[in-house]
Structure formats: structure tokens, C-alpha cells
Amino acid sequence: MPLSTRQRITLLGSTGSIGCSTLDVVQQLGGRDRFTVAALTGHGNIELLAEQAQTFGAELAVTADEGRYQDLKDALSGTGIEVAAGPSGLQEAAAREASWVMAAIVGTAGLAPTLAAAARGADIALANKECLVSAGDLFVQAVHRGGGTLIPVDSEHSAIFQALEDDQRHAVERIVLTASGGPFRSWTRDQMAGVTVEIARAHPNWSMGLKISIGSASMFNKALEMIEAKHLFDVRPEQIEVIVHPQSIVHSMVGYRDGSVLAQLGAPDMRTAIGYALTYPDRPPLNVERLDFAKLARLDFEAPDEIRFPALRLARLALTRGGLQGAVMNAAEEIAFQAFVDGAIGFLDMAEIAELVMETMTDWAPATAMDDVFAADAAARGLAREAIARRKAA
Ligand code: NAD
Ligand code: MG
């Protein structure tokens, strides 16, 4: 779009790691001179949400936490910025006219508002991988039905999106997702058994929100990304490979049937993928670190270990079984993640609980409507909570 045309945008999850990076990109590309911010949403960090809304002149600010409505109202009193809260507030933010919506809420909490934005035809910049893992093809269809474009923001999927040649999709042989391997890349299972949240969240390369940081340590994040790749790029499970690449410079690759492999490289900084999603198919000038190959000197690759990181095996299971297993794995993992953060279970228990719930729900028929997804999600959460309670009692 020419620089003279103002673009209306909305950020679902503006106060998180991706949300803040998105606003940084928006600022770099012209800020209020070029963009009109229709709505911003957050959760507990009211101060930051109010500050963002004022800086960017948002029309509407929403906290997902109903109990914080008055705090947000007070923080924005006299500014003319509308305020809303709770699930209906999120729906209002999603429904407000904006041609581009950043989906950056963490977890399945982002599914309903992202679907609402998709239904009215917005282009969806998708960071919130959980909503795609959970709703799968139904989610992709919802975006297409609305008439918008689904643009991946996850660095791996942005890399693949960039390396896919539009008229050569039929010639794609494989998708190679890179994984940093996280802080426990070379740890034994015994070493991982007793780790604390503080140790697990310390990612070697990326600075991110808590859930994805823990997910990088357990490789559950990569597991979600395998399923995300299947739905985004319409490939068969056996076409999806994972390779551990500790430097996080090669963001992912597409292998073609002539043996060629196209990769996308860059510094580990989400702003490149966010900028690409915001101005696609243009490449805006961005103030991010440039790669210095002489300094890098080497790029390492190693096979992933599905025994130390069972999440990868579970993703493979979910991919081959199909149906609602993605929704089930995702929901069980969300509950297990929270239990780990709360100190109720250990690091390795997360995958065990996810597997247990997946095995209990193999006979669920594939989803034909979004209600089936919500039902499977709720059932998986219930089973995961029961499994956690049993462990605590034992
Ligand atoms: P974060 O925890 O930093 O931010 C999450 C955002 O969601 C915040 O704005 C928060 O207020 C909001 N939120 C939290 N709970 C909510 C709820 N119940 N209802 C509504 N809103 C709620 O997370 P993040 O790291 O920015 O990740 C956001 C999404 O992007 C995740 O799906 C993650 O997997 C994905 N992602 C993140 C990165 C990264 O570098 N951080 C990279 C790739 C993909
Ligand atoms: Mg990623």
C-alpha cells in the first residue's frame, strides 16, 4: 500500500512480547501518520495498555479481565478512548473495522476474537499459533470465507511463507522447521526432571512471553509449530521435518523435488516477521540487527531427540491421527503448562499429561463445526485437571 494511504489496524494482545514488537514496527513504519489503530487489547497490565492506547491514539482499548474494567476506565479517563472488558470486549475489538489484525493473544483465549476478525474479512497476521493448532482447517477456512489473507508471524512459518514459490507449490517435497533446542538442548531427562520455571524460561536466543519460553524448553512449542505448518501449508505429516539449529539464524526451509532447498535467514528478532506480515508482499526498511556472516562463522544442525523431548513424538501422533487431536494436545498442554508454572507438577510431567489426555480422547470424531473444537478443548482441559489432581494426591 502506498505510504500516503492510512491503514486501519487492530492488535489482539498488544501488551505481550509480540504485541510490543508489533507496535515498535508500527512506529518505525510511520506510527500515527500512517496507521490508525482501531483497537488494542491486553489482560492484566492496565498501565501499559493505557499508555499504548494513548501513544497510538487507539479508538478502543480492551482488557480481557472483566475485573479490571474500572482500572482501565480510570487510566484513560478524559482521553476520549473507548474502553471495554471481558470476552464481549474482545469481540468488540475484533469486530471493529480494521483491514489488518495482529492475533497475538497467548493460548486458545485468542481463538474466538481471531475468528470474529477473520469472519468480517480482515487480513490475519497470526502469532497465536494455538488457535490454529486447535481449530485446524476450520480456522483456515474461516479466514478464506471472510475473504482475508492469513499471514504467519511465527518466525519459522514466516520463513516458509517467504521461501514458498507461489506457482511451485506442487513441487514442494518437504518443510524443514528449525528449532533452537531451547535451554535444555543437551540436558538429560534426569537433569530436566527437577528444573524450576525460572531455569526453564531462560531462552538462549529469543526474548518471549512465558508460555512460549517454557514451550521452547520442552519443545512443545515446536510440536505446536509442526501442526501449525500442516494447516498453513497444506502438507502431509511426513513432509514436515524438524531440525535443531542452536543459533536460530536459519528460520526454516522449504525443500523442492529437484533437491533445492530455500531458506530464510535473519537475526532472531520477531520484528522482521511482523514487518513482513504488516506490509506483505512489500519488505519495509526495518531497524533490526543485520547478520554478519564472518562473525557468525558457523551454523550448526543436529537431529532432534524425541525421547528426551516427547512433545515432538506427540505432535507426530496428533498429525497422523488428525481430527481433534491437535485441539486435545493443545488444551491439555495449556493446563499442564499452568500447573508447572504454579508448582503443582514437574517439567517432565507436562508431556506425560498431554499424552494421557490424547490417548483418552482418540475416539472423538473429527470436527465439522467450531463447537466440536470448543467441546474437545473443554473435555481435554477437564481430563488434564483430573490427571494433575491425581498426581498431587499420589
Ligand atoms: P505474552 O504472554 O508476552 O503476551 C500475551 C498477550 O495476550 C498479552 O497481551 C496478554 O495481555 C494477552 N492475554 C493473556 N491472557 C489472555 C486471556 N486469557 N485473554 C485475552 N488476552 C490474554 O505472549 P507472546 O510471547 O507475545 O506470545 C503471543 C502469541 O504469539 C503466542 O501464541 C505465542 O506462541 C506466539 N509467538 C510468540 C513469539 C515471541 O517471540 N514472543 C514468537 C512466535 C509466536
Ligand atoms: Mg516459532
Encode pLDDT of 164-176 as tens digits: 998 999 999 999 9
Distance CA 140, CA 118 (A): 9
Question: Does the C-beta of 225 come closer than 6 Å to ligand 1?
Answer: no
User: Which of ligand 1's atoms lies nearest the C-alpha of 212?
Assistant: 34
pLDDT, tens digit (0-9, with 9 covering 90-100), for 138-190:
999 999 999 999 999 999 999 999 999 989 999 999 999 999 999 999 999 99
Q: Which ligand is nearest to the CA of 270?
A: 1
Angle separating helix axes 220-233 and 349-360, nearest 10 degrees: 40
Taking residues 359-363, report their average pLDDT. Answer: 97
**How remote is the CA of residue 205 from the centroid of ligand 2, in Å?**
12
Distance CA 282, CA 307 (A): 42
- Total domains in the fold of the chain: 3
Whether 289 and 348 share a structural domain: no
Within a domain: 186? yes
**How remote is the CA of residue 182 from the centroid of ligand 2, in Å?**
12
User: Which of ligand 1's atoms lies nearest the C-alpha of 210?
Assistant: 2
Joined together, the cell numbers standing for residue 84 give 471495554
Using left for φ > 0, alpha for ψ between -120 and 50, and beta otherwise, residue 17 falls in: alpha
**How remote is the CA of residue 364 from the centroid of ligand 1, in Å?**
29
Res 177: pLDDT = 99
Neighbouring CB atoms inside 10 A of 122's CB total: 28
Percent of the chain with pLDDT over 90: 95
| E strand or H helix that includes residue 40 | strand 35-42
- Domain stops at, among 103, 123, 152: 152
- Domain stops at, among 117, 152, 187: 152
Within a domain: 314? no
Within a domain: 128? yes
Q: Is 41 helix (H, G, I), strand (E, B) or coil?
A: strand
**How remote is the CA of residue 189 from the centroid of ligand 2, in Å?**
23
pLDDT at residue 29 is higher than 80: yes
**How remote is the CA of residue 197 from the centroid of ligand 1, in Å?**
17
CA atoms 360, 379, 364, 229: torsion sign: negative
Give the mutation target among 17, 272, 330 for probing the ligand 1 site: most ligand atoms within 8 A of CB: 17
Identity of the residue numbered 41 = T
Distance CA 111, CA 384 (A): 20
Whether 240 and 163 share a structural domain: yes
User: Which of ligand 1's atoms lies nearest the C-alpha of 107?
Assistant: 32
Percent of the chain with pLDDT over 70: 99
pLDDT at residue 205 is higher than 90: no
Res 145: pLDDT = 98
Whether 301 and 231 share a structural domain: yes
Whether 259 and 205 share a structural domain: yes
Whether 148 and 161 share a structural domain: no
Neighbouring CB atoms inside 10 A of 166's CB total: 6
Q: What is the DSSP letter of 108?
A: G
Res 174: pLDDT = 98
Relative to beta strand 261-265, strand 240-244 is unpaired
Whether 299 and 177 share a structural domain: yes
User: In the block, which residue shows the cell 511463507?
Assistant: 161
Report residue 51's pLDDT band, with 50, 70 and 90 as the boundaries: very high
Taking residues 261-288, report their average pLDDT. Answer: 97
Question: Does the C-beta of 251 come closer than 6 Å to ligand 1?
Answer: no
Res 393: pLDDT = 86
pLDDT, tens digit (0-9, with 9 covering 90-100), for 297-315:
899 999 999 999 999 999 9
Whether 350 and 212 share a structural domain: no
The range of the structural domain enclosing residue 123 comes to 7-152
pLDDT, tens digit (0-9, with 9 covering 90-100), for 68-115:
999 999 999 999 999 999 999 999 999 999 999 999 999 999 999 999
Res 76: pLDDT = 98
Taking residues 222-234, report their average pLDDT. Answer: 97
CATH of the domain at 32: 3.40.50.720
Straight-line distance from the first to the last Cα atom of the chain, in angstroms, rounded to the nearest whole number? 60
Give the mutation target among 92, 115, 212 for probing the ligand 1 site: most ligand atoms within 8 A of CB: 212
Within a domain: 354? yes
Res 49: pLDDT = 98
Taking residues 350-371, report their average pLDDT. Answer: 97
CATH of the domain at 376: 1.10.1740.10
Within a domain: 389? yes
**How remote is the CA of residue 114 from the centroid of ligand 2, in Å?**
19
Residue pair 11/261 in contact (Cβ under 8 Å)? The answer is: no
Question: Does the C-beta of 113 come closer than 6 Å to ligand 1?
Answer: no
Res 204: pLDDT = 84
Joined together, the cell numbers standing for residue 238 give 511426513
Q: Which ligand is nearest to the CA of 248?
A: 2
Question: Does the C-beta of 129 come closer than 6 Å to ligand 1?
Answer: yes
pLDDT at residue 212 is higher than 60: yes
Question: Does the C-beta of 11 come closer than 6 Å to ligand 1?
Answer: no
User: Which of ligand 1's atoms lies nearest the C-alpha of 14?
Assistant: 9
Res 3: pLDDT = 47
Three-state SS string across 335-394, please? HHHHHHHCCCCCCCHHHHHHHHHHHHCCCCCCCCCHHHHHHHHHHHHHHHHHHHHHHHHC
**How remote is the CA of residue 93 from the centroid of ligand 1, in Å?**
16
Within a domain: 312? no
Distance CA 359, CA 325 (A): 9
Whether 113 and 143 share a structural domain: yes
Whether 160 and 294 share a structural domain: yes
Q: What is the DSSP letter of 315?
A: H
Within a domain: 380? yes
- Domain stops at, among 126, 152, 178: 152
Within a domain: 295? yes
The per-residue pLDDT of the chain, averaged, comes to: 96
Report residue 394's pLDDT band, with 50, 70 and 90 as the boundaries: confident
Whether 389 and 291 share a structural domain: no
User: In the block, which residue shows the cell 473507548?
Assistant: 82
Whether 119 and 139 share a structural domain: yes
Residue pair 11/31 in contact (Cβ under 8 Å)? The answer is: no
Res 69: pLDDT = 98
pLDDT at residue 2 is higher than 60: no
pLDDT at residue 4 is higher than 60: no
Whether 264 and 303 share a structural domain: yes
Question: Does the C-beta of 218 come closer than 6 Å to ligand 1?
Answer: no
Q: Which ligand is nearest to the CA of 212?
A: 1
Residue pair 73/83 in contact (Cβ under 8 Å)? The answer is: yes
What string of DSSP letters covers 163-190? H--GGGGGGEEEEEEEE---TTTT--HH
